[in-house]
Amino acid sequence: MTTPFYVTTPLYYPNAQPHIGSTYTTAIADTLTRYHRAAGEEVFFVTGTDEHGEKMLEAAREAGLEPKAFVDGMAERFSSTWKQLGFEYDRFIRTTDADHVRAVQHLWQTIYDRGDVEFREYTGRYCVGCEAYLTDRELVDGQCAQHLTEPEERSESNYFFKMTSYFDDWVEHLESHPELVTPTRYRNEALALMKGGVLGDLCITRPVERLTWGIPAPWDDDYVLYVWTDALVNYVTATGYPEAGWEERWSGVHHLIGKDILKPHAVFWPTILRAAGLPLFQGLHVHGHWNVENQKISKSLGNLVDPHVMDEKYGFEGFRYYLLRDMSFGTDTGFSESGVVRRINDDLANDLGNLLNRSVSMTGRYFDGVVPEASEPGELAEVATRVAADVDRHVREFSTQRALTALWELVSAGNKYVDAQAPWKLAKEPEQRRELERVLYDVLESLRITAVLLAPFLPGTAARILGSLGDPPTAATLAEATRWGGLPAGTSTQVIPALFPRIDTD
Ligand code: ME8
């Protein structure tokens, strides 16, 4: 039994609509799962919504709805948006799901029984945006650095998880297992949070007199569990925890998050897992933020970038390509519509679309649309083999940007090859017939391999390319499917409408 590839996205707060940020994270997860599945691995992809806590209660009040009715409607918007955009998750988990409530209570009761939960008086500053108490050292000019609001001073008796007592152990482990949090700068940030004395123990409850919209603390009816200590547990709930057999899926888990939620994932979550006696995740992969016109995206600024609008204007795969291609994993990137248009025009319409169009058109013109006989593998075969290996490495390192950059080396090699070999000249000389066959076979075969490697990124586009190439037989694994020579001579090709019509920029 090989380890399954299990990838998670954050559970999004359904007080806002899906936007460029949640679309980006989910698109990476979808691409990775499709890639690993194509590689013949067992995969499991989980996304969903984080529905408890004060923030959600406030949003429900504003909408004039009971919290459950509010989150039901919003969760449906998320799941239907993801389906419409073609994301193939295995489970859409909601923190109000009955199995999640059971898992959360089981896990926290375990930690409580092991003696790591303590009742304490507490006065602190609470930021509703973060759904967290912030320490003095986390404030900038008295404000939350992320939400730019002044946290409220609160005094409560609450239950605390003795999180700091796990820091030494986790710091030591993380220092000797650098692959656990990537890219490196985020591992360093997590280590600094634990070493710097910035963080205290974790307050894990809210009194029901203040908040009832949460999962009841199993040991005390007067308290509900704090929203983060509830939401993080979804990652094990989805594996079937605590029922027998859950560890198998868990053994291959990779979390994908944005840098905004590094602290709960790189500090709270591993210490919670340790305290509950559960194995750690295999990887926490942290991406940067999309900014719009140099500003953070936010509901109040109205600059969220709606994926439905992008879909209507450009077709979702054009936008998806831009997202996966333009952001270097881990760093912040500025979004611009002109950037989307440039990628569509340059990479998709020009480089890829034209290569397909001219290759298949020439096959029509010179060979009645039938794939000619292959010769010995040549220079394009060499590029294809190298590119397939590069794409594989980059995808496994979570870098869709590098993977697509590598793939486009094959596309440009194809274009350069056609320009250099000039099949239209060869076609004029009957004694060059065999040479013409060789050139066109090589280009068509490089396009087949391009489509196979592109499929996890742009499934619809890849299917159209393969359709134009006469739907050559598919192989069981990527390794076989990317082996040179998979396009059978004699296959009937057909010219199709432009893959990506050029967008007028005037
Ligand atoms: O934090 N650029 O939910 P959330 C890129 N419920 N990605 C972005 C982004 C941006 N500008 N804005 C948001 C929560 N994201 C919690 C998570 S997990 C157990 C609980 C993406 O709706 C990115 O993945 O605020 C980020 O980490 C996530 O949305 C935050 O989603």
Instruction: Choose between 293 and 4: higher pLDDT.
Output: 4
Distance 281 CA to ligand 1 centre (A): 19
Q: Which of 145-159, 305-319, 477-491 comes out lowest in average pLDDT?
A: 145-159
* Helix (H) or strand (E) segment spanning residue 457: none
Yes or no: say if 443 and 472 are a contact pair by the CB < 8 Å rule: no
Confidence of residue 1 (pLDDT cuts 50, 70, 90): low
pLDDT exceeds cutoff 90 at 301: no
Quote the strand ranges of 248-318, DSSP E.
Answer: 253-258, 283-287, 290-292, 295-296
Please give the Cα distance from 356 to 312 (Å, whole number): 24
Domain ranges of the chain: 5-317, 337-481
pTM of the model: 0.95
Give the position, in ligand 1's atom list, of the atom nearest the Cα of 10: 18
pLDDT exceeds cutoff 80 at 238: yes
DSSP 8-state class, residue 494: -
Q: Tokens for 89, please give them.
A: 């998750």
Residue that the structure tokens 């908040």 belong to: 211
Give the position, in ligand 1's atom list, of the atom nearest the Cα of 25: 24
Please give the Cα distance from 297 to 295 (Å, whole number): 6
pLDDT exceeds cutoff 80 at 299: no
Please give the Cα distance from 333 to 317 (Å, whole number): 19
Yes or no: say if 485 and 446 are a contact pair by the CB < 8 Å rule: no
Please give the Cα distance from 25 to 123 (Å, whole number): 36
The contacts of residue 198 (CB under 8 Å, 6+ apart) are 135, 137, 138, 192
267 lines ligand 1 (CB under 6 A): no
Q: Euclidean distance between the first and final Cα of the chain, in Å?
A: 56
| Three-class HEC string of 104-162 | HHHHHHHHHHCCCEEEEEEEEEEECCCCEEECHHHEECCEECCCCCCCEEEEEEEEEEC
29 lines ligand 1 (CB under 6 A): no
Please give the Cα distance from 208 to 212 (Å, whole number): 5
18 lines ligand 1 (CB under 6 A): no
50 lines ligand 1 (CB under 6 A): yes
Yes or no: say if 18 and 310 are a contact pair by the CB < 8 Å rule: no
DSSP 50-109: ---SHHHHHHHHHHTS-HHHHHHHHHHHHHHHHHHTT---SEEEETTSHHHHHHHHHHHH
Q: What is the pLDDT of residues 220-237, one digit of tens each?
A: 999 999 999 999 999 999
Which letter, b or e, does each residue of 262-272 get, where b requires 16 or more Cβ atoms within 10 Å of its Cβ? bbbbbbbbbbb
Measured in residues, the chain has a length of: 506
Peptide bond into 183 cis (omega under 30): yes
Look at residue 129 in the predicted model and tell me its pLDDT: 85
Q: How large is the average pLDDT for residues 211-227?
A: 97
Q: What is the pLDDT of residues 408-465, one digit of tens each?
A: 999 999 999 999 999 999 999 999 999 999 999 999 999 999 999 999 999 999 999 9
C-alpha pair distances (Å), 482 with each of 21, 383, 446, 447, 490: 32, 12, 9, 11, 19
Identify the residue whose C-alpha is closest to ligand 1 atom 15: 21
Look at residue 89 in the predicted model and tell me its pLDDT: 98
Examine domains 5-317 and 337-481 and report if their fold is the same: no
For the domain spanning 337-481, the CATH number is: 1.10.730.10
pLDDT exceeds cutoff 90 at 79: yes
Q: Tokens for 68, please give them.
A: 């459950």
Probe target for ligand 1 pocket from 261, 272, 293, 398, with the most ligand atoms within 8 Å of CB = 261
Please give the Cα distance from 334 to 305 (Å, whole number): 12
Give the position, in ligand 1's atom list, of the atom nearest the Cα of 12: 22
Q: How large is the average pLDDT for residues 342-350?
A: 98
Distance 251 CA to ligand 1 centre (A): 24
DSSP 8-state class, residue 14: T
28 lines ligand 1 (CB under 6 A): no
Q: Tokens for 148, please give them.
A: 């730019």
What's 5-317's CATH class? alpha beta
Q: How large is the average pLDDT for residues 293-303?
A: 80
Instruction: Choose between 196 and 282: higher pLDDT.
Output: 282
Q: Tokens for 246, please give them.
A: 């859950």
Distance 289 CA to ligand 1 centre (A): 9
Please give the Cα distance from 53 to 63 (Å, whole number): 16
Q: What is the pLDDT of residues 363-422, one digit of tens each?
A: 999 999 999 999 899 999 999 999 999 999 999 999 999 999 999 999 999 999 999 999
Probe target for ligand 1 pocket from 8, 12, 297, with the most ligand atoms within 8 Å of CB = 12
pLDDT exceeds cutoff 90 at 502: yes
Q: What is the pLDDT of residues 95-106, one digit of tens each?
A: 999 999 999 999
**pLDDT exceeding 70 applies to what percent of the chain?**
100
Question: DSSP 3-state assignment of 205?
Answer: strand
Q: How large is the average pLDDT for residues 302-314?
A: 94
Q: How many CB atoms lie within 10 A of CB 210?
A: 12
Confidence of residue 147 (pLDDT cuts 50, 70, 90): confident
**pLDDT exceeding 90 applies to what percent of the chain?**
89
Which letter, b or e, does each residue of 399-423 get, where b requires 16 or more Cβ atoms within 10 Å of its Cβ? bbbbbbbbbbebbebbbebbeebeb
Please give the Cα distance from 263 to 243 (Å, whole number): 28
Helix axes 379-396, 20-38, angle to 10 degrees: 120
